């Protein structure tokens, strides 16, 4: 594909166009991903997640500055939420990253979640790949402001940084599952505010009791991203975590697991699309659907009825084949 | 098949004026019209605006200027877009723009100027019509 070739030669516009196509899920996407595949695996990816207003964008901005001073190129994906009502979104993370606007070594892309509920758009992983293929050394992914369970980021990147702010609750909050478990590094940001030291201590003591963490001790850092305090240390710990993953073989393991997951999701998505396509043209399937819609039958019985009928499945495969949806 | 997809808009404030109430109202309004709106903040140079527009692959740039420097700043954005080969992006202007300046700006390629009091729906319609038109081409 010409667009992919141009992107691999360093064309920003082509990269940008490709990201849009991946976001939209156009028919060219499988071909695009096939063609960039040989160029993947060189970038290191780091996710920054945490509650809204905790300073994620500023942390990303400051980490980028350090990476640039070391001669690394950086790709940034900054995610903000899509409205469940209108489908619109305000993407405002770039505002904190102004110092990098004119730096050719930094590519910033804002993404809306577009229907995903895990803190990341479904297509974020593919966009990380495009930035990797484009030649960025470091890819920073900033999630939407998350609560406790939007944990997709963990499965998309190599290192996960969780940013928290003081006054976000008492000890019990740090003991809870979810967000508190996925951090490879904690940054207690806005650490000039009261309660920061207390939060650091509480996180540390909660981590000490965690039986899963033996080889990598999750560091808890106090940072003030706006004032550039503690960011050098954060960057160092990021590098240290990378080194740990690489030398222990965990990085390969982690990426293997992610690839497996990705295949599963790709297949699930295709099957879902096939079913939705069939729904529109197959009267039998549509009738089954209506039974559930009208509460005449429970979804489990209908699923059994549909999936257990070999003749039907055969018939549908033939329809999908004539549609060109399967070979 | 052209799929339904959100239109992407960049709202930018070129130059030195610090009045972004209008830009923010428009950002919210277009969000509620179902668009993805990227707001880049105050005091942007034309270079920064065009670079952001390219990286974000937007359909539309909305320029807001209340300082009186629109006759310089808006054409500068158009010139850079041309230079970078991104002339297909639609550019709209807004702010305090005297009537007599509008023909010149349109001649430079600004699609439309929307002053204070314009219903947001009108702006959204203008954007939709243009994007529909382009995807047909």
Domains contained in chain A, CATH given: 1-38 (no CATH), 40-248 (3.40.50.300), 258-323 (no CATH)
Closest-CA residue of A relative to B10 is A91
For residue B107, give the 3-state DSSP assignment.
helix
How far B84 CA lies from chain A's nearest CA (Å)? 9
Report the pLDDT value the prediction gives residue A327, as an integer from 0 to 100: 65
Say yes or no to pLDDT of B90 above 80. yes
Report the pLDDT value the prediction gives residue B1, as an integer from 0 to 100: 32
Answer whether A98 touches B (CB < 8 Å): yes
Domain B8-136 belongs to what topology? Rossmann fold (3.40.50)
**Among B76, B70, B134, CA closest to B101:** B70
The predicted-structure confidence for A144-161, as pLDDT tens digits, reads as follows 888 777 788 988 999 999
Parse chain B into domains and list their residue ranges. 8-136
Report the pLDDT value the prediction gives residue A270, as an integer from 0 to 100: 83
Residues 6+ apart with CB under 8 A from A107: A12, A15, A74, A75, A76, A131, A134, A136, B55
| 14-33 of A, contacting B, C-beta below 8 A | 16-17, 19-20, 23-27
Judging contacts by C-beta atoms under 8 Å, the chain A residues touching residue B54 are 12-13, 16
Report the pLDDT value the prediction gives residue A128, as an integer from 0 to 100: 97
Closest-CA residue of B relative to A92 is B39
SS (H, E, C) chain A: CHHHHHHHCCCHHHHHHHHHHHHHCCCCHHHHHHHHHHHCCCCEEEEEEECCCCCHHHHHHHHHHHHHHCCCCEEEEEEECECCCCCCEEECHHHHHHHHCCCCCEEEEEEECCCCCCCCCCCHHHHHHHHHHHCCCEEEEEEEECCCCCCHHHHCCCEEEEEECCCCCCHHHHHCCCHHHHCCEEEECCCCCCCHHHHHHHHHHHHHCCCCCCCCCCCEEECEHHHCECHHHHHHHHHHHHHHHHHHCHHHHHHHHHHHHHHHHHHHHHHHHHHHHHHHHCHHHHHHHHHHHCCCCCHHHHHHHHHCCHHHHHHHHHHHHHHCCCC
Report the pLDDT value the prediction gives residue B41, as an integer from 0 to 100: 86
pTM of the model: 0.90
Answer whether A313 touches B (CB < 8 Å): no
Per-residue pLDDT of chain A (327 residues; tens, 9 = 90+): 899 999 999 999 999 999 999 999 898 999 999 999 999 989 999 999 999 989 999 999 999 999 999 999 999 999 999 998 999 999 999 999 999 999 999 999 999 999 787 789 989 999 999 999 999 999 999 998 887 777 889 889 999 999 999 976 667 777 777 888 889 999 999 999 999 999 999 899 888 887 666 689 999 999 999 999 999 999 999 999 999 999 999 999 999 999 998 899 888 888 888 888 888 888 888 888 899 999 999 999 999 988 888 888 888 888 878 877 666
How far B71 CA lies from chain A's nearest CA (Å)? 23
- Report how far apart the first and last C-alpha atoms of chain B are (Å, whole number): 13
Determine how many CB atoms are found less than 10 A away from the CB of residue A41. 11
Q: In this structure, what is the dihedral angle of CA atoms A29, A32, A37, A39, given to the nearest 10 degrees? A: -140
Report how far residue A151's alpha carbon sits from residue A201's, in angstroms, rounded to the nearest whole number. 24
Of A20, A25, A86, the CB nearest to B57: A20
Answer whether A94 touches B (CB < 8 Å): yes
Q: In this structure, what is the dihedral angle of CA atoms A14, A20, A22, A25, given to the nearest 10 degrees? A: -140
**Mean pLDDT of chain B, nearest integer:** 92
The predicted-structure confidence for B22-81, as pLDDT tens digits, reads as follows 999 999 999 999 999 999 988 999 999 999 999 999 999 999 999 999 999 999 999 999
Answer whether A83 touches B (CB < 8 Å): yes
Report the pLDDT value the prediction gives residue B2, as an integer from 0 to 100: 37
Answer whether A99 touches B (CB < 8 Å): no
The predicted-structure confidence for A71-128, as pLDDT tens digits, reads as follows 999 999 999 999 989 999 999 999 999 999 999 999 999 999 997 877 899 899 999 9
Report the pLDDT value the prediction gives residue B106, as an integer from 0 to 100: 96
């Amino acid at each position: 594909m010409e667009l992919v070739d141009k992107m691999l030669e360093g064309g920003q516009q082509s990269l940008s166009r490709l990201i849009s196509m991946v976001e939209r899920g156009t028919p060219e996407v499988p071909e695009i991903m096939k063609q960039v595949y040989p160029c993947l695996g060189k970038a290191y990816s780091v996710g920054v997640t945490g509650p809204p207003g905790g300073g994620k964008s500023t942390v990303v901005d400051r980490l980028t500055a350090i990476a640039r001073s070391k001669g690394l190129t950086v790709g940034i994906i900054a995610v903000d939420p899509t409205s469940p009502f209108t489908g619109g979104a305000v993407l405002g993370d770039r505002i904190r990253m102004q110092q990098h606007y004119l730096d050719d070594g930094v590519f910033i892309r804002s993404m809306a979640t577009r229907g995903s509920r895990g803190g990341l758009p479904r297509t974020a992983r593919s966009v990380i790949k495009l930035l990797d293929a484009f030649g960025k050394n470091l890819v920073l992914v900033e999630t939407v402001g998350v609560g406790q369970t939007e944990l997709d980021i963990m499965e998309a990147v190599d290192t996960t940084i969780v940013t928290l702010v003081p006054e976000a609750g008492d000890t019990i909050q740090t003991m809870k599952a979810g967000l508190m478990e996925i951090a490879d590094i904690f940054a207690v940001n806005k650490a000039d505010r009261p309660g920061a030291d207390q939060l650091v201590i509480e996180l540390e003591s909660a981590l000490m009791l965690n039986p899963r963490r033996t080889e990598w001790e999750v560091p808890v850092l106090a940072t003030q991203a706006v004032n550039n305090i503690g960011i050098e240390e954060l960057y160092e710990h990021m590098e240290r975590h990378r080194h740990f993953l690489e030398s222990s073989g965990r990085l390969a393991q982690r990426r293997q697991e992610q690839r497996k997951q990705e295949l599963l999701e790709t297949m699930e998505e295709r099957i879902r699309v096939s079913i939705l396509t069939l729904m529109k043209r197959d009267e039998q399937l549509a009738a089954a659907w209506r039974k559930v819609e009208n509460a005449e039958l429970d979804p489990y019985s209908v699923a059994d009825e549909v999936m257990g009928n070999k003749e039907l499945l055969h018939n549908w495969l033939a329809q999908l084949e004539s549609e060109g949806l399967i070979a | 098949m052209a799929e339904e997809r959100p239109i992407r808009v960049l709202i930018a404030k070129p130059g030195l004026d610090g009045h972004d109430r209008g830009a923010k109202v428009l950002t919210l309004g277009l969000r509620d019209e179902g668009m993805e709106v990227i707001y880049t903040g105050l005091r942007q140079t034309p270079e920064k605006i065009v670079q952001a527009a390219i990286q974000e692959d937007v359909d539309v740039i909305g320029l807001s200027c209340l300082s009186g420097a629109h006759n310089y700043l808006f054409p500068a954005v158009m010139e850079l877009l041309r230079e970078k080969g991104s002339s297909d992006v639609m550019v709209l202007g807004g702010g305090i723009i005297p009537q007599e300046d509008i023909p010149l700006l349109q001649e430079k390629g600004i699609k439309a100027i929307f002053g204070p009091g314009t219903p947001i729906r009108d702006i959204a319609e203008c954007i939709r019509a243009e994007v529909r038109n382009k995807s047909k081409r």
